[in-house]
Amino acid sequence: MGNYYSDLGPDFKKRTYKLRDIEGYSYNRMIKDDLKDGAVKKEEILELYECMLVVREFEEMILKLRTGAYECIKDYEYRGPTHLSIGQEATCAGACSILNISDYITSTHRGHGDSISKGYFAIRKMNEKELKERCPEFVNLAGETLLEAVMQDHVFRTIAELFGKEAGYGKGRGGGMHIFDFRVGHLGANAIVGGGVPIATGASMTCRIDINKENKGKVVCCFAGDGAYANGVVLEALNWAAQDQFTNKKLTSINIGLPIIYCIVNNHFGMTGRADGEVTGVDCLARRAAGFDNDNMHAEVVNGMDVMAVREALVRAKKLATEGNGPVLLELNTYRYYGHSLSDPRNEYRTKDEEERWKLVDPVTAFRKRLLDEGVFKEDVLNALEKKVAERNAKAARQAVDSADPDPKDVIKYMYTDSVCEKVPSAYQKIDKKGARPSIKRDSEGRVNYRDAIKEGILEEMERDARVVVYGEDVADYGGAFKLTKGLLEYFGRGRIFNTPISEACICGTGVGMAMTGYRPVVELMYMDFALMASDQISNQAAKWHYMTGGNVKVPMVIRCSVGGGKGYGGQHSQSLESMFCHIPGTYVAYPSNAYDAKGLIKTAIRDDNPVIFVEGQLLYGNKDVVPEEEYFIPFGQAKIVKEGKDVTFVVWGPAVVDAIKAANKLEEEGISVEIIDPRTLVPFDWQTVFESVRKTGRCVAISQCVDIGSYTGEIVAQVTANCFDHLDAPVVKVGAKNGIAPQAYSLEKAFLPSVEDMVAAARSLK
């Protein structure tokens, strides 16, 4: 037995575990042989050449812009990134040439070529109806004229986004490093190295489990550079994609691997450091796959300077992926001629001789030579094509420069979407029930505890919409660390709820990918402390894509995380970090303080089309309230007046609400009437209810279990002071945890967290 885990028990007999070979540079054919065998058509070869020309022309335009040498727009001063991919044209053109319009890609900050190529080949595959739907302004055109107009529009919108124009793909909000086109499956370039890899992995999860047959057969092509493959979340994603549970017949009825092709665009430099011979210890980056999959993810090394070699490798990779044998990993060995950006002269870490040797196999000029030498095309055909591409780019560039800039008054437009899931598409209304429905226990008064209230809300939403999936560490068989999801596996099956590796960044990143491709994941991080492990995928990915795409994509996902303050778990399991995510525009933050609100808020969160950080107080899990069995919702941004009063306002959330009620009762004995307001969501925040209360009472105390310094209570102090100054009879004060690290000792933790006495003292100080 080769596995450590076996139903038959341990087996420690001596053995040798062997790694399988990884092939390299297997393609070695003449173009005319591919034509003869029918592996490629003559017009497809010309398309490959044109696509590489389009990419090269675009990239050289950026280069010339810096010196004013791009004649048609020499009056334009370009401000923005200059991460050129000149030399890498074969990787993007060869890969995208075999993808369907609906197949997905993700890309990198050096991703202009990937974006251009995905759009180029998608447009080439469109019929006239599809071309006119993409560009209704060309409805009166037809044939080649229509095709050329749509192609120029693609180049124009790409340049416009690079230039930060309203006509760009992201309306100038994202720029070239975040370029996308969801209409043709381009999920976005990513300025965070490796940031798009878990997103691509999540998109492939959607493709794998999607019950809508129209979406079956899609693949995801994930482009990332050599530098990314030393990055933690990238390695997490490879491990994630290769999980046995995706193909283990004992665990799943969807017995297929993830349909994803990881393309390592190895241009030999992360920024200035070399992967080979310097910052890694392997002879090829394809070797990474051996650490995660017994089949090496079908890994191979491909000549990334030869567009035909890349194309042939992708044909085989796509076949593997669509037949359920993914994931697949390809290392495309290529080269970038310029530095990390144009401010990098590159002469400090490589030689001109090295560059010249690579230019001998330049993907564009070497391919052109082959086409002529093998008699595939004549010189005049190639000359005409080159002229057309140059003129198209020049026209698009001039059009982009002359187009409108975004209106400054719209600077934060598209930060959030105001949409929710009001109607479930018919394909997702049918639920495949695997077993008995979990029962939610109510006492004789109809009360349910906080834990089961959240569970009931999730259960109802999973029954309503098959796109709602739940995953995280230990949430399946075991029901999660706090047993909140117990019973959901038996009811919905492992296609809807499943365990994950201990990979918080990948849990959130794959959730982003699923959300961007139509699903509504509910992911669990167990403890809020672990959100710091996933902070990039939450703060740079989930939070920003709706804005950076000018509202073109929604990220409807819920990130559940519990807060353990008060249980003696110490500094790495007890932090209340909700204030951190209030500082990240693009996410909502909900924090129910009781079971009734917990059910209503989790249902609202799941139906909302924005990413939601859903914070759960562990000290509240056992608290009971009357929770109706019928459906109800708690609107975001609508505070709850827990108790009415006239002398002082407490603004308080989470477990601190329980203590605030106790404090208010004590103060009542002294003749101080306290009004308690629970905002329920910190983002969006119900300022109006708070302001109205403070204008009535004249005093305010902001309370939470967050460490006092930097807490969102400070924002409450600032806003109340600014908006209620004339009504205040005393300064606004705040109460929070000590400015330190949560201790484990009971005596110390009791002193660390805000107490009833602290709240009483704060109110007394306002006399």
Question: Cβ(309)–Cβ(363) under 8 Å?
Answer: no
Token pair for 747: 């005596």
Q: Within 10 Å of residue 240's Cβ, how many Cβ atoms? A: 26
Distance CA 275, CA 193 (A): 14
Residues in contact with 446: Cβ distance below 8 Å, sequence separation at least 6, in sequence order: 626, 627, 628
- The residue from 50, 59, 504, 616 that is catalytic is 504
Which among 618, 608, 191, 169 has a CA at the least distance from the CA of 400? 169
Pairing verdict, β 648-652 and 700-707: parallel
Residues in contact with 625: Cβ distance below 8 Å, sequence separation at least 6, in sequence order: 447, 448, 450, 453, 594, 595, 596
Q: At what angle do helices 112-125 and 143-162 cross, to 10 degrees?
A: 160
Token pair for 225: 């550079």
Residue 608 is classified by DSSP as B
Could you tell me which residues are beta bridge partners of residue 590? 614, 681
Give how far the C-alpha of residue 759 lies from the chain's centroid of Cα atoms, to the nearest Å: 40
Number of Cα atoms under 13 Å in the Cβ half of residue 291: 14
Residues in contact with 752: Cβ distance below 8 Å, sequence separation at least 6, in sequence order: 737, 738, 740, 742, 743
End-to-end CA distance of the chain: 75
Distance CA 632, CA 623 (A): 20
Distance CA 234, CA 194 (A): 6
Say which residue the tokens 């305010």 belong to: 700
Residue 67 is classified by DSSP as T
Question: Cβ(612)–Cβ(662) under 8 Å?
Answer: no
- The residue from 154, 268, 340, 573 that is catalytic is 573
Could you tell me which residues are beta bridge partners of residue 733? 701
Burial class (CB in 10 A: 0-12, 13-18, 19+), 230: middle
Q: Within 10 Å of residue 626's Cβ, how many Cβ atoms? A: 12
Told to judge if 504 belongs to the known catalytic residues of this protein, a careful annotator would answer yes
Question: Cβ(186)–Cβ(107) under 8 Å?
Answer: yes
The residues annotated as belonging to the active site are: 504, 573
